[in-house]
A and B are shown apart, each in its own frame.
Chain A
Amino acid sequence: MIEVIHLTKEYGQKIAVDNISFSIGKGEMVGYLGPNVAGKSTTLKMLVGLLEPTLGDINVAGFNAKTHQLELKRSIGYIPEEAQLYEHLTLVEHLQLMGRLYHIEEQLITRKIIEFTKLFEMEEQALQRISSFSQGMRQKCLIMGALLHNPDVLLFDEPFTNLDVTTVTFLKALLKRMAELGKTILYCTHILEVAETLCPRILIINEGKIIADAPVEELRQLTNQKALNEIFVQLTETTGIEDKTNEAIRIVTETS
């Protein structure tokens, strides 16, 4: 469903994504992990067409990014890292905009909006402007917008940011069910616990390169570590945590 072949993104001298390749099958949910500035969001932006790759090829839902860009875009539901929205619109107007851009019939848009807002407990805020929303409510806006056109592939960049526990629990269950229904999900996150419980397979990127691509169990055996955060630390060669902590305490307590 998602096929990334020798994908590279360069910003001048800096290589953000360095010749990565992976493929994700139908109904698979994959956790995409990595430290800050590892290249996770850049990969996702290239997959959805917001960034042009320097080199390499992308196929999503059987459509090539270069030759069938429109079909590819239609098959994707995307949640960006930052909730940048048209703030003068109300929730209903935002969802109407999304629906119209994805060619959903007006009646179906209306029906879906009413049902979605009820499901996400945002009925009361549906006619309020996004500018008055909290970060969590904005995140819900993005999630509803990404799911509205029933995409085959879901690309989520930190989707649970600012959400309350109830919504996160509901969304975890929802994503699992969607994967069972055959949706392909690439889940990009910093929260390793969520990735561990949700994603049977983990991709780890560091300094633009894929350094691990295996099921969680296989990674555990490979690294002789039980928890995913320990596996992550070992694979990304994050060393000297103890020293760093001591140094931080010294700086914080420094008075003169």
Chain B
Amino acid sequence: MFEKFAIKFGADPVHYKLLMDNERVLEDRSNEGKQGISKLSLTLYCVFSFLISIFSALVVFFGIDVFIYTIIGVSMSMIIVAMWGLPHFDNLLSPIYYQVIAHTPISSRTYFMVKLTQILKSSVLLLFCFNTFPSVCGIFLKGDDLTIIRYFFPVVYLPVSFLSGFFTLGVMAALAGFLTKLYSTKKLQKIAKSAQFLLPILFPLSFYLIPIEYFRDNYNSIVKYLSYFPIGWFAGIVSLAVRNINRLGFQRDLLLTGIALGSTLILIFIPLRSIAKTYSAYLGFLLESTNKSRKKLRIRKSILSNYFKIRESYASFCLCALYMRRDRKIAAQFTAGGITGLVMTLLFFIRGIYPIEFLKYHYAIGLSPGILVLYGYFGITLSLGFLQAVRYSQHSKAQWILSLSPYGNKYAMWQGAESTAIIYLLIPTTLFVLLVSTFFWGVYSIFFVLPGLVLLLLSITTFPEPESGLPLSEEFVEGEIGSGCFSIILHTFAIGLLIGVLFLARFIHTWVYVAVYSIFVISGIIVFIKNRKKSIQLHQEREKPDEE
């Protein structure tokens, strides 16, 4: 099917098939030794989408009409596809193997179609997983103006949801193509990076922005307002198909259907064709450097260099910190969860789901469930998420630089990555939680932060290091986010268990709690310091030349 579609768009059939086979081989080989994690990740994403679709489909029992039901389903489906597609659009913006085939007589259109097909293939699977359940549930929609066709709701809804998904991808591709004319590759990658973080925010934000009560009271004006957006256009198609002709709003649905179909066709036929044509010119820019030169070379010395006793750890720390900021694949893995959490937390408080009293409430000094949940969530997603991500790199072949260096202790290198997590992620998170705690409890806030800090420090130091012991040493496989979840879940469970012990102690007796708390915090700090000292000692012993 994809082949026919690509050929219709002017792709060379022989080249197209050849490149597709080549891409498949490259993908399979990049997965070798990784137990097909990339495919597993898509499967996980599909499962995740299916679960969300169950919740979104349950609104069918809230008495909403076809138009709103479709709007909810289609908008979520579009966001899911956009979230999945965005990292993969990088492949369109800066395809890594382009230089290999750039000099061969393969047309830019063919190459563009190959890249687009890869995105479409996974999107189709995703759209199917997300929309099947809501399409079946649509049969149970109620309304006086519904016709017998509502029993064929899945047959209408499913193609519309696919159409909306392709529309989303089309918009993204057209936007990417348009932006390539305005910005450099570097700027575009930055835009894509920001968008990757913004999209996860849309989920919780939509929760706040779409006030359900207001919906009920001002239905007509809301529907009119939504009709200006693509989600409204696609909802119009479903509404037109399953509702009675002799009803109010039939003309509106007819108009929306026209706009939806027309815009999708225009989007596919005009901008996509134009992008495909000019793609090679764009790719030509990729090979050129866009950096401006500077005249005087100034090298600043970091104040942190004095605090590292092991030089290799400092070298590794600097390397990891730079990759944390510059490698968007690493940054995306640990910040997406953090940002989503932050927005969700804020919105929960704004909407009063978790009142401020939830944070303020405490069983004893140092034991507040709200603060522990907040601290634990951000500490784990950011710090452990980073440690999981920093094992991998798209530049893993450069690990010879670390392997070749005369490091005394393998752990010293990984300690650099741990220090990055502590200094750049855990300390700011701790200061934020301390600030919130100080607002409630003044000087006692330190007692509320200490248990979480100790647990997170221990989690960071006990987080499993890569087999080689070196950061950025394992080959990055697209979408490998799911693979490290087990370690993170295990640590979360352990943290939860230890906090549970604190709660239990408090319920037994205040003094038991004080004793358990003190032992817990002091022993945690001692274990952490001992671990670090032991590592330095081991390193110094290895550094000493053997006595003959």
Query: Which residues does A use to contact B, with CB under 8 Å?
Result: 48-50, 67-71, 73-74, 76, 78, 80, 82, 84-89, 92-93, 96-98, 100-103, 106-107, 110, 113-114, 117, 123-129, 132-133, 145
Q: Does residue B315 face the partner (Cβ distance < 8 Å to A)? A: yes
Q: How far is the CB of A222 from chain B (nearest CB, A)?
A: 37
Q: List 28 A-B contacts (CB under 8 A).
A: A49-B403, A49-B404, A50-B400, A50-B403, A68-B545, A68-B546, A70-B543, A86-B472, A93-B318, A98-B401, A100-B312, A101-B401, A102-B406, A110-B301, A113-B297, A113-B299, A114-B297, A114-B299, A117-B297, A123-B295, A123-B297, A125-B293, A126-B294, A127-B294, A128-B289, A128-B293, A129-B291, A145-B401
A76 to B406, CA, bound (A): 10
* Residues in B whose Cβ lies below 8 Å from that of A98: 401, 405
A249 to B404, CA, bound (A): 45
Q: How far is the CB of A208 from chain B (nearest CB, A)?
A: 22
A35 to B257, CA, bound (A): 68
* Residues in A whose Cβ lies below 8 Å from that of B297: 92, 113-114, 117, 123, 126-127
Highest count of chain A CB atoms <10 Å: which of B393, B395, B472: B395
* Residues in B whose Cβ lies below 8 Å from that of A125: 291, 293
Q: How far is the CB of B425 from chain A (nearest CB, A)?
A: 18
* Residues in A whose Cβ lies below 8 Å from that of B289: 128, 132-133
Q: Is the CB of B322 within 8 A of A103?
A: no
CB < 8 Å neighbour of A73 from B314, B395, B404: B404
Give the B interface residue count (CB, 8 A).
38
Closest chain B residue to A114 by CB distance? B297
A73 to B401, CA, bound (A): 12
* Residues in B whose Cβ lies below 8 Å from that of A73: 404-406
A-B pair count, CB < 8 Å, reads 108
Q: Does residue B83 face the partner (Cβ distance < 8 Å to A)? A: no
Q: Is the CB of B315 within 8 A of A97?
A: yes
A73 to B402, CA, bound (A): 11
Q: How far is the CB of A137 from chain B (nearest CB, A)?
A: 10
**Which residues in chain B, 412-446, are within 8 Å of chain A measured between CB atoms?**
none
A100 to B416, CA, bound (A): 12
Q: Is the CB of B395 within 8 A of A74?
A: no
CB < 8 Å neighbour of A128 from B291, B299, B322, B545: B291
A73 to B403, CA, bound (A): 10
* A103-B311, A114-B299 known; A97 vs B318 contact (CB < 8 Å): yes
A74 to B404, CA, bound (A): 9
Q: Is the CB of B407 within 8 A of A84?
A: no
Q: How would residues 288 to 316 of chain B score, 1 for a CB under 8 Å from any chain A CB and 0 otherwise?
A: 01110111010101000100000110110
Highest count of chain A CB atoms <10 Å: which of B294, B312, B393, B398: B398
A114 to B296, CA, bound (A): 10
A128 to B294, CA, bound (A): 9
A-B pairs, top 10 by smallest CB distance, nearest first, are A101-B405, A100-B315, A73-B406, A124-B293, A132-B289, A84-B397, A88-B326, A128-B291, A70-B406, A74-B406
CB < 8 Å neighbour of B318 from A74, A96, A102: A96
* Residues in B whose Cβ lies below 8 Å from that of A78: 404
CB < 8 Å neighbour of B408 from A50, A70, A106, A124: A70
Closest chain B residue to A93 by CB distance? B322
Q: Does residue B474 face the partner (Cβ distance < 8 Å to A)? A: no
* Residues in B whose Cβ lies below 8 Å from that of A103: 311
* Residues in B whose Cβ lies below 8 Å from that of A133: 289
A71 to B406, CA, bound (A): 7
* Residues in A whose Cβ lies below 8 Å from that of B408: 70
Closest chain B residue to A63 by CB distance? B545
* Residues in A whose Cβ lies below 8 Å from that of B293: 124-125, 128
Q: Is the CB of A85 within 8 A of B398?
A: yes
Beyond known contacts A101-B407, A106-B305: 7 more, CB 8 A cutoff: A49-B404, A50-B404, A97-B401, A98-B401, A100-B311, A129-B291, A132-B289
* Residues in A whose Cβ lies below 8 Å from that of B400: 50, 80, 84
A56 to B402, CA, bound (A): 25
* Residues in A whose Cβ lies below 8 Å from that of B327: 88
Q: Is the CB of B322 within 8 A of A88?
A: yes
Q: How would residues 202 to 226 of chain B score, 1 for a CB under 8 Å from any chain A CB and 0 otherwise?
A: 0000000000000000000000000
A103 to B404, CA, bound (A): 13
Q: Does residue B323 face the partner (Cβ distance < 8 Å to A)? A: yes
Q: Is the CB of A84 within 8 A of B395?
A: yes
A223 to B472, CA, bound (A): 50
A130 to B543, CA, bound (A): 31
A117 to B546, CA, bound (A): 37
Q: Is the CB of A101 within 8 A of B323?
A: no
Closest chain B residue to A74 by CB distance? B406
* A114-B297, A132-B290 known; A89 vs B406 contact (CB < 8 Å): no
Q: How far is the CB of B355 from chain A (nearest CB, A)?
A: 44
Q: Is the CB of B319 within 8 A of A97?
A: yes
A193 to B325, CA, bound (A): 45
* Residues in B whose Cβ lies below 8 Å from that of A101: 311-312, 315, 401-402, 405-407
* Residues in A whose Cβ lies below 8 Å from that of B315: 96-97, 100-101
Closest chain A residue to B292 by CB distance? A128
Q: Is the CB of A92 within 8 A of B299?
A: yes
A107 to B318, CA, bound (A): 16
* Residues in B whose Cβ lies below 8 Å from that of A88: 322-323, 326-327, 395
A102 to B404, CA, bound (A): 10
* Residues in A whose Cβ lies below 8 Å from that of B542: 70
Closest chain B residue to A90 by CB distance? B322
* Residues in B whose Cβ lies below 8 Å from that of A117: 297
Highest count of chain B CB atoms <10 Å: which of A50, A68, A106: A106
A123 to B296, CA, bound (A): 8
**Which residues in chain B, 352-404, are within 8 Å of chain A measured between CB atoms?**
393, 395, 397-398, 400-404
Q: Is the CB of A86 within 8 A of B401?
A: yes
A234 to B323, CA, bound (A): 50
Q: How would residues 136 to 176 of chain B score, 1 for a CB under 8 Å from any chain A CB and 0 otherwise?
A: 00000000000000000000000000000000000000000
Highest count of chain A CB atoms <10 Å: which of B314, B327, B400: B400
* Residues in A whose Cβ lies below 8 Å from that of B323: 86, 88
Q: How far is the CB of A150 from chain B (nearest CB, A)?
A: 14
A30 to B406, CA, bound (A): 25
* A98-B401, A100-B314, A124-B294 known; A67 vs B546 contact (CB < 8 Å): yes
CB < 8 Å neighbour of A48 from B291, B301, B404: B404
Closest chain B residue to A76 by CB distance? B404
CB < 8 Å neighbour of A86 from B312, B314, B395: B395
Q: Is the CB of B322 within 8 A of A89?
A: yes
* A70-B543, A102-B406, A129-B291 known; A89 vs B299 contact (CB < 8 Å): no
Closest chain B residue to A89 by CB distance? B322
Q: Is the CB of A71 within 8 A of B312?
A: no
Q: How far is the CB of A183 from chain B (nearest CB, A)?
A: 18
Q: How would residues 454 to 487 of chain B score, 1 for a CB under 8 Å from any chain A CB and 0 otherwise?
A: 0000000000000000001000000000000000
Q: How far is the CB of A113 from chain B (nearest CB, A)?
A: 6
* Residues in B whose Cβ lies below 8 Å from that of A107: 301
A86 to B545, CA, bound (A): 31
* Residues in B whose Cβ lies below 8 Å from that of A100: 311-312, 314-315, 318
